[in-house]
Amino acid sequence: MKFSELELKKDLLSAIRKAGYEEPTPIQEQSIPVILEGKDMVGCAQTGTGKTAAFALPILQKLTVIKRAKTRALILTPTRELAIQIFDNFKKYGRYLHLRTVCLYGGARRGPQIGALRRGADIIVATPGRLLDFMGEELADLSSVELLVLDEADRMLDMGFLPDVTRIVESTPSERQTVMFSATMEKEVRKLADRMLREPVQIQVTPENEAADTVDQKLIFTSHEDKREVIVSLLTDEAVESAIVFTRTKHGADKLSRELKRRGIVSVAIHGDKTQGQRQDALNRFKSGKIKVMVATDVAARGLDIPKLSHVFNYDVPEEAGAYIHRIGRTGRAGESGIAITLCCEAERDALREVEELLEKPIPELQTQWSLPLERKTRKGRGHARHGRGGRRTGSQRRGKQRGNRTGAENRQGHVTQKQRAGGASGGSRRRRRREQGPRPMPNINNGRSERENVSDEFRGRGGYSGSYYGQGRGR
Ligand code: AMP
C-alpha cells in the first residue's frame, strides 16, 4: 500500500516523503483511516511499529480543516522521553502545516513551557503530572479538545498514573474522539478502554517481539572480510528455501547482490534507491519463488508484504536494536519455526550488545570455519556479565528490577534537580514528577534508541531544555 492511498493531504505526503518513508507500516495502514473517520480506536502496538505516525498523521490532517485558537488535540504519554519523541514526530510530519505543538513534561523548567502555552497550542503532548499542574494553575485549558490519545496506556497504569489520567480525561469534552495505544491488552487496560472510549475499533499488529521466541536465532562472530564467505556458504545450504539477507546500507545491498551473482547465487536487491516499479518487480519474482534470495535494507523491507521465509540472515548487525526484532520477525511466523542467523564482526559488538539487551538473552553462537573467538562487550559501569541481563523475567519483575538498579546517587540527583528546577512543589506533584522522570521502565522493541539520543543531542545543542525549543513546534 502507498501513503497516497490513505487520503492524506499533500502537505502531509510531502512531509512523509521528506522523512524518507516509502510505505505505511501495518499499524499506520489500519489506524489512519479509522482515525480520519472519527472513530474511537484501541491499538495494540508497541513503540517501533510506527504507531506515532499512525495517530499523528490523521490528527494533523483533521486539525487543518478548521483553524481555532484553542487546544484541539491532546496526547498523553507516560515519560518525558516519549513526550519529546512524539513532539518531535509532530514537528516532522507537520512541517508544512501551520499548527502549534507544545510539549509539557516534568523535571524541566516550567517557564518555557508556560510561555509556549501562552502563545497558544493546537496540540499538547504531555506527561500527566506536569499537565495536571498547569491545569490546576489554569495555564492549560482542555475544554476544546476534540482528539485525545492515550499513548502507552499499559505503562501509564504501571506507573500509577490512573488517577491523574482520569482527572485529565474528565476535563476534556465527552464528545471527543479517543484513541488508545497499548503494548499489552491486560485486564486493567481493557477496563480503562471501556471507561474512556466509545465502541472503539480494535486494531492489533503482530507483536513482533514475540517472534523472538519462535525463531531459532544464531550468531556467528567473524571478521568483516570473511562475511562474504560465510553468507555464500549459508545460502547454499539446501535447507534454505527462501531468505532475506539484511544489510545496513543501500550500497552494501547492491554490492552483496552483485557478489552473490558472481558466486552463482541469484538474488534481487530491494532498497530505497530503487523505483517503486523495480521494487515491485523484484518482490514479485521473489514471492513467486523464481528467486530465493532477497538482499534488502531495513527501510525497504519495512511495510513490504513479504511472504513467510525459511531464513533471515543479518549480514550486518542492525544499528537500531528494534530493527533486529523486525528483521527476524520475517521468519517463523504464525507459530512456524524459522531460522535467523546474524553475522557480527568486531566493530559491531556494541550494536550486538544492544540487541541482546533487548532480547534479554544472548544469541547462541554457531561455529563455522570462519568463526572468530570474539568477546561480547559489556556496558561500562553496569557491571552485568557477559550476556546482558540473563534469563527472561516477567514484565513486573523486569520493571521492579530496573527501578531497583537505580543507584541512590541517581535518585538523589534526580530529586534535587527537579526541586531546583521546579522551585519547590507540593508532595503530590513532586511524586508525580519523580514518576515522570523515572528510569525507562522496560526495554521496548525499536525504542528509537538512536533517535532518542539524537533528540537529546538536539536539546543539548540548543542549550539544554530551554525555551527556544518550543518555538520550533510551529510549522513553517
Ligand atoms: P514509532 O513506533 O512511532 O516509535 O516509530 C518507530 C520508527 O519507525 C521511528 O524511527 C519512525 O521514524 C519510523 N517510521 C515510522 N513510520 C515509518 C514508515 N512508514 N516507514 C519507515 N519508517 C517509519
- Give the CB-side neighbour count of residue 465, counting CA atoms within 13 A: 16
State how far the Cα of 371 lies from the Cα of 363, in Å rounded to an integer. 15
Q: Among all chains, which residue has been given the C-alpha cell 479517543?
A: 178
Specify the ligand 1 atom closest to the Cα of 299: 21
Dump pLDDT digits (tens) for 225-278. 999 999 999 999 988 989 999 999 989 999 999 999 999 999 999 887 777 678
Weakest mean pLDDT among 8-22, 38-52, 154-168, 452-466: 452-466
Q: Does the beta carbon of 172 sit less than 6 angstroms from any atom of ligand 1? A: no
Find out whether the beta carbon of 338 lies less than 6 Å from any atom of ligand 1: no
Q: Concatenate the DSSP letters of all residues of 383-419 into one string.
A: ---TTTT-S---HHHHHHHHHHHS-HHHHHHHHHHHH
Q: DSSP letters of 308-358? A: PBSEEEESS--SSHHHHHHHHTTBSGGG--EEEEEEE-GGGHHHHHHHHHH
Of the listed ranges 40-44, 106-110, 136-140, 439-443, the least confidently predicted one is 439-443
Task: Judge contact between 72 and 147, C-beta under 8 A.
Answer: yes
Assess contact for 200 and 41: CB atoms under 8 A: yes
The pLDDT of residue 117 is: 95
Confidence band of 380 (pLDDT split at 50, 70, 90)? low
Question: From CA 379, how far away is CA 33, in angstroms rounded?
Answer: 43
For residue 238, the CA-to-ligand 1 centroid distance in Å is 35
Edge-to-edge strand ranges of the sheet holding 311-314: 215-221, 338-344, 311-314, 243-247, 293-297, 267-270
State which ligand 1 atom lies nearest to the alpha carbon of 21.
20
364-379 average pLDDT score: 92
Mean pLDDT over 383-396 rounds to: 34
- Determine the distance separating the centroid of ligand 1 and the alpha carbon of 256, expressed in angstroms: 26
53 CB near ligand 1 (under 6 Å): yes
**Pairing label, strands 123-126, 73-76:** parallel
Give the bridge partners for 44, in sequence order.
182, 204
Nearest atom (ligand 1) to Cα of 451: 10
The dihedrals phi and psi of 16, each to the nearest 5 degrees, come to -65, -45
In the predicted model, is pLDDT for residue 333 greater than 80? no
The pLDDT of 68-87, averaged and rounded, is 88
Mean pLDDT for 92-116 is: 93
Q: When comparing pLDDT for 180 and 1, which is higher? A: 180
Q: What pLDDT, in 10s, does the model give residues 26-41?
A: 999 999 999 999 999 9
Q: How far is the CA of 181 from the centre of ligand 1 (A)?
A: 15
Task: Please work out whether the CB of residue 252 comes within 6 Å of at least one atom of ligand 1.
Answer: no
Q: What is the whole-number distance in angstroms between the Cα of residue 385 and the centre of ligand 1?
A: 32
**Above pLDDT 70, what percent of the chain?**
72
Q: Which three cell numbers stand for residue 301?
A: 523491507
- Mean pLDDT in residue range 141-153: 96
Confidence of residue 348 (pLDDT cuts 50, 70, 90): very high
